[in-house]
Protein backbone atom coordinates (compact mmCIF):
# COMPACT_ATOMS: atom_id res chain seq x y z
CA UNK A 1 0.00 0.00 0.00
CA UNK A 2 1.38 3.39 -0.95
CA UNK A 3 1.98 5.99 1.75
CA UNK A 4 -0.84 8.31 0.65
CA UNK A 5 -3.44 5.55 0.73
CA UNK A 6 -2.15 4.35 4.08
CA UNK A 7 -2.44 7.86 5.55
CA UNK A 8 -6.01 8.12 4.24
CA UNK A 9 -6.85 4.77 5.83
CA UNK A 10 -5.48 5.95 9.18
CA UNK A 11 -7.55 9.14 8.92
CA UNK A 12 -10.74 7.15 8.28
CA UNK A 13 -9.99 4.88 11.21
CA UNK A 14 -9.28 7.84 13.52
CA UNK A 15 -12.63 9.37 12.51
CA UNK A 16 -14.37 6.06 13.30
CA UNK A 17 -15.75 5.82 9.78
CA UNK A 18 -16.19 2.41 8.13
CA UNK A 19 -14.12 1.71 5.02
CA UNK A 20 -12.76 -1.14 2.91
CA UNK A 21 -9.55 -1.80 1.03
CA UNK A 22 -10.01 -3.61 -2.29
CA UNK A 23 -6.93 -5.35 -3.66
CA UNK A 24 -6.45 -6.79 -7.16
CA UNK A 25 -4.57 -9.99 -6.49
CA UNK A 26 -2.81 -10.04 -9.87
CA UNK A 27 -0.69 -6.96 -9.26
CA UNK A 28 -1.57 -5.61 -5.80
CA UNK A 29 -3.35 -2.48 -7.08
CA UNK A 30 -5.64 -1.10 -4.38
CA UNK A 31 -8.61 1.17 -3.78
CA UNK A 32 -9.76 2.66 -0.49
CA UNK A 33 -13.58 2.65 -0.56
CA UNK A 34 -15.24 4.98 1.96
CA UNK A 35 -18.88 5.88 2.49
CA UNK A 36 -18.78 8.76 0.02
CA UNK A 37 -15.41 8.59 -1.75
CA UNK A 38 -12.91 6.28 -3.47
CA UNK A 39 -9.15 6.71 -3.52
CA UNK A 40 -6.25 4.78 -4.98
CA UNK A 41 -5.09 3.43 -8.32
CA UNK A 42 -7.55 0.55 -8.68
CA UNK A 43 -10.62 1.52 -10.72
CA UNK A 44 -13.90 -0.14 -9.68
CA UNK A 45 -17.23 0.01 -11.49
CA UNK A 46 -20.46 1.09 -9.82
CA UNK A 47 -21.61 -2.47 -9.12
CA UNK A 48 -18.30 -3.31 -7.47
CA UNK A 49 -18.44 -0.16 -5.35
CA UNK A 50 -22.01 -0.91 -4.26
CA UNK A 51 -21.09 -4.47 -3.32
CA UNK A 52 -17.99 -3.30 -1.44
CA UNK A 53 -19.99 -0.79 0.59
CA UNK A 54 -22.68 -3.38 1.31
CA UNK A 55 -20.00 -5.75 2.56
CA UNK A 56 -18.48 -3.00 4.70
CA UNK A 57 -21.78 -2.35 6.47
CA UNK A 58 -22.00 -6.05 7.33
CA UNK A 59 -18.25 -6.30 8.08
CA UNK A 60 -17.89 -9.12 5.55
CA UNK A 61 -14.39 -9.38 4.12
CA UNK A 62 -13.78 -11.79 1.25
CA UNK A 63 -13.48 -12.24 -2.50
CA UNK A 64 -15.56 -9.85 -4.58
CA UNK A 65 -17.90 -12.03 -6.61
CA UNK A 66 -18.68 -11.33 -10.25
CA UNK A 67 -15.44 -9.46 -10.97
CA UNK A 68 -13.52 -10.26 -14.17
CA UNK A 69 -10.32 -10.20 -12.13
CA UNK A 70 -9.65 -11.62 -8.67
CA UNK A 71 -10.43 -8.88 -6.15
CA UNK A 72 -10.32 -9.16 -2.37
CA UNK A 73 -12.23 -6.86 -0.03
CA UNK A 74 -10.86 -6.23 3.45
CA UNK A 75 -13.48 -4.47 5.55
CA UNK A 76 -12.61 -2.15 8.42
CA UNK A 77 -15.86 -1.47 10.25
CA UNK A 78 -16.24 -0.33 13.82
CA UNK A 79 -18.67 -2.31 16.00
CA UNK A 80 -22.35 -1.64 15.32
CA UNK A 81 -23.99 0.61 17.89
CA UNK A 82 -27.22 0.23 19.81
CA UNK A 83 -28.80 3.37 21.27
CA UNK A 84 -31.47 2.54 23.86
CA UNK A 85 -33.89 5.14 25.20
CA UNK A 86 -35.18 4.24 28.66
CA UNK A 87 -33.09 2.59 31.39
CA UNK A 88 -35.86 0.15 32.30
CA UNK A 89 -35.81 -3.52 33.37
CA UNK A 90 -35.67 -4.72 29.76
CA UNK A 91 -32.65 -2.48 29.20
CA UNK A 92 -30.82 -4.10 32.11
CA UNK A 93 -31.08 -7.41 30.26
CA UNK A 94 -30.71 -5.97 26.76
CA UNK A 95 -27.45 -4.08 27.32
CA UNK A 96 -25.25 -7.09 28.26
CA UNK A 97 -26.85 -9.38 25.66
CA UNK A 98 -26.33 -6.81 22.90
CA UNK A 99 -22.74 -6.26 24.05
CA UNK A 100 -22.09 -10.01 23.83
CA UNK A 101 -23.49 -9.90 20.28
CA UNK A 102 -20.87 -7.29 19.38
CA UNK A 103 -22.83 -4.05 19.79
CA UNK A 104 -21.47 -0.89 21.37
CA UNK A 105 -24.34 0.05 23.71
CA UNK A 106 -25.44 3.57 24.70
CA UNK A 107 -28.37 4.07 27.08
CA UNK A 108 -30.22 7.39 27.33
CA UNK A 109 -32.61 8.35 30.13
CA UNK A 110 -32.94 11.83 31.67
CA UNK A 111 -34.62 10.27 34.71
CA UNK A 112 -31.60 9.98 36.98
CA UNK A 113 -33.16 7.38 39.25
CA UNK A 114 -33.44 5.05 36.25
CA UNK A 115 -30.07 6.00 34.77
CA UNK A 116 -28.05 5.19 37.90
CA UNK A 117 -24.70 3.63 37.03
CA UNK A 118 -25.21 0.70 39.40
CA UNK A 119 -28.27 -0.40 37.41
CA UNK A 120 -26.26 -0.62 34.18
CA UNK A 121 -22.65 -1.48 35.05
CA UNK A 122 -20.14 -1.11 32.25
CA UNK A 123 -22.60 0.67 29.94
CA UNK A 124 -22.39 4.20 28.54
CA UNK A 125 -25.34 6.02 30.16
CA UNK A 126 -26.49 9.56 29.35
CA UNK A 127 -29.01 11.67 31.30
CA UNK A 128 -29.50 14.13 28.43
CA UNK A 129 -32.79 14.46 26.59
CA UNK A 130 -32.88 11.72 23.93
CA UNK A 131 -32.79 13.99 20.87
CA UNK A 132 -29.84 15.92 22.33
CA UNK A 133 -27.95 12.75 23.23
CA UNK A 134 -28.60 11.27 19.79
CA UNK A 135 -27.24 14.38 18.08
CA UNK A 136 -24.11 14.12 20.22
CA UNK A 137 -23.65 10.39 19.64
CA UNK A 138 -24.47 10.61 15.94
CA UNK A 139 -26.49 7.98 14.11
CA UNK A 140 -25.20 6.35 10.96
CA UNK A 141 -25.95 3.23 8.93
CA UNK A 142 -24.30 1.02 11.58
CA UNK A 143 -26.51 2.31 14.40
CA UNK A 144 -29.76 0.89 15.77
CA UNK A 145 -32.18 2.87 17.94
CA UNK A 146 -34.61 1.21 20.35
CA UNK A 147 -37.07 3.12 22.54
CA UNK A 148 -38.22 1.36 25.71
CA UNK A 149 -39.27 4.13 28.11
CA UNK A 150 -43.00 3.89 27.24
CA UNK A 151 -43.08 7.69 27.70
CA UNK A 152 -43.85 9.71 24.55
CA UNK A 153 -41.92 12.69 25.96
CA UNK A 154 -38.77 10.56 25.73
CA UNK A 155 -39.52 8.08 22.98
CA UNK A 156 -41.00 10.37 20.32
CA UNK A 157 -38.07 12.82 20.07
CA UNK A 158 -35.71 9.84 19.78
CA UNK A 159 -37.82 8.24 17.06
CA UNK A 160 -37.98 11.49 15.10
CA UNK A 161 -34.19 11.84 15.31
CA UNK A 162 -33.75 8.21 14.26
CA UNK A 163 -36.13 8.54 11.31
CA UNK A 164 -34.11 11.52 10.10
CA UNK A 165 -30.99 9.36 10.12
CA UNK A 166 -29.68 6.33 8.23
CA UNK A 167 -30.10 4.02 11.24
CA UNK A 168 -30.30 0.42 10.04
CA UNK A 169 -32.92 -0.46 12.65
CA UNK A 170 -35.52 1.46 14.65
CA UNK A 171 -37.68 -0.30 17.22
CA UNK A 172 -40.21 0.80 19.82
CA UNK A 173 -41.75 -0.99 22.79
CA UNK A 174 -45.52 -1.04 23.08
CA UNK A 175 -48.69 -2.84 22.09
CA UNK A 176 -50.44 -2.46 18.75
CA UNK A 177 -52.77 0.10 20.36
CA UNK A 178 -49.82 2.04 21.79
CA UNK A 179 -48.12 2.05 18.40
CA UNK A 180 -51.28 3.29 16.67
CA UNK A 181 -51.26 6.33 18.97
CA UNK A 182 -47.54 6.76 18.31
CA UNK A 183 -48.11 6.65 14.55
CA UNK A 184 -50.76 9.38 14.88
CA UNK A 185 -48.36 11.63 16.80
CA UNK A 186 -45.49 11.07 14.38
CA UNK A 187 -47.77 11.60 11.39
CA UNK A 188 -48.82 14.94 12.86
CA UNK A 189 -45.12 15.74 13.25
CA UNK A 190 -44.66 15.26 9.50
CA UNK A 191 -42.79 11.93 9.36
CA UNK A 192 -45.15 10.38 6.79
CA UNK A 193 -44.27 7.04 5.19
CA UNK A 194 -40.95 6.87 7.06
CA UNK A 195 -42.90 5.80 10.15
CA UNK A 196 -43.09 2.38 8.52
CA UNK A 197 -39.39 1.90 9.34
CA UNK A 198 -40.28 1.46 13.02
CA UNK A 199 -40.43 -2.13 14.27
CA UNK A 200 -43.31 -2.18 16.73
CA UNK A 201 -43.86 -4.10 18.86
CA UNK A 202 -40.08 -4.30 19.04
CA UNK A 203 -38.33 -7.67 18.71
CA UNK A 204 -39.11 -10.98 17.03
CA UNK A 205 -42.29 -12.66 18.22
CA UNK A 206 -40.74 -15.50 20.25
CA UNK A 207 -43.65 -15.70 22.67
CA UNK A 208 -41.71 -14.57 25.74
CA UNK A 209 -42.87 -11.82 28.09
CA UNK A 210 -40.13 -11.61 30.74
CA UNK A 211 -37.60 -8.75 30.40
CA UNK A 212 -34.75 -11.08 29.46
CA UNK A 213 -36.94 -12.86 26.90
CA UNK A 214 -37.92 -9.55 25.31
CA UNK A 215 -34.24 -8.55 25.30
CA UNK A 216 -33.30 -11.75 23.45
CA UNK A 217 -36.09 -11.11 20.92
CA UNK A 218 -34.81 -7.57 20.32
CA UNK A 219 -31.22 -8.67 19.78
CA UNK A 220 -32.38 -11.43 17.42
CA UNK A 221 -34.25 -8.86 15.33
CA UNK A 222 -31.26 -6.50 15.40
CA UNK A 223 -28.99 -9.22 14.04
CA UNK A 224 -31.45 -10.13 11.30
CA UNK A 225 -31.85 -6.48 10.29
CA UNK A 226 -28.12 -5.88 10.32
CA UNK A 227 -27.43 -8.60 7.78
CA UNK A 228 -30.51 -8.39 5.59
CA UNK A 229 -31.39 -4.74 5.06
CA UNK A 230 -29.74 -1.98 3.03
CA UNK A 231 -29.00 1.34 4.70
CA UNK A 232 -32.10 3.49 5.20
CA UNK A 233 -32.45 6.95 3.74
CA UNK A 234 -33.31 9.67 6.27
CA UNK A 235 -36.43 11.77 5.99
CA UNK A 236 -36.35 15.55 5.79
CA UNK A 237 -36.64 17.81 8.79
CA UNK A 238 -39.95 17.71 10.68
CA UNK A 239 -41.36 19.41 13.74
CA UNK A 240 -40.30 18.37 17.22
CA UNK A 241 -42.87 16.74 19.47
CA UNK A 242 -41.05 17.02 22.77
CA UNK A 243 -43.54 17.88 25.48
CA UNK A 244 -42.88 20.69 27.90
Residue range 41-61, pLDDT digits in tens: 898 999 999 999 888 877 889
The reported pLDDT for the residue numbered 93 is 97
| pLDDT(231) > 60 | no
The reported pLDDT for the residue numbered 237 is 52
Q: Where are the alpha helices (DSSP H) in the chain?
A: 3-14, 46-58, 89-100, 130-137, 152-163, 176-188, 211-228
Q: pLDDT digit string (tens) for 133-181?
A: 999 998 988 899 999 999 999 999 999 999 999 899 999 999 999 999 9
The reported pLDDT for the residue numbered 223 is 94
**What is the pLDDT of the chain when averaged over all its residues?**
89
Report d(CA 117, CA 101) in Å as an integer.
22
**Of 60, 58, 47, 13, nearest in space to 32 by CA:** 13
Where in the sequence of the chain do the CATH 3.40.50.720 domains occur?
Answer: 81-228
Q: What contacts 202, CB < 8 A, 6 or more positions away?
A: 146, 148, 171, 172, 173, 174, 214, 217, 218, 221
Q: 169-172 and 71-76 as β-strands: parallel, antiparallel, unpaired?
A: unpaired
What pTM, to 2 d.p., does this model score? 0.76
Q: pLDDT digit string (tens) for 84-118?
A: 999 999 999 999 999 999 999 999 999 999 999 88
Report d(CA 125, CA 108) in Å as an integer.
6
Question: Which percentage of the chain shows pLDDT scores above 70?
Answer: 93
The reported pLDDT for the residue numbered 242 is 35
Give the architecture (CATH level 2) of 81-228: 3-Layer(aba) Sandwich (3.40)
- Residue 60, classed as helix, strand or coil, is coil
The reported pLDDT for the residue numbered 239 is 42
Report d(CA 146, CA 76) in Å as an integer.
25
pLDDT-derived band at 184 (thresholds 50, 70, 90) equals very high
Amino acid sequence: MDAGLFDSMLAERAARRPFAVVTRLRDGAQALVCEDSVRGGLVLDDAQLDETRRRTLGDRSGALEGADEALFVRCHARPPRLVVVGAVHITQALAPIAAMAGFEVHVIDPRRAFAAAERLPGVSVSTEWPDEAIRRIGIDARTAVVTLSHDPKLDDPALIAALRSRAFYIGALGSTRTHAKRVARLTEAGLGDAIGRIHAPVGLDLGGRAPVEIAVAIVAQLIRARYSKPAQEPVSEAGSVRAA
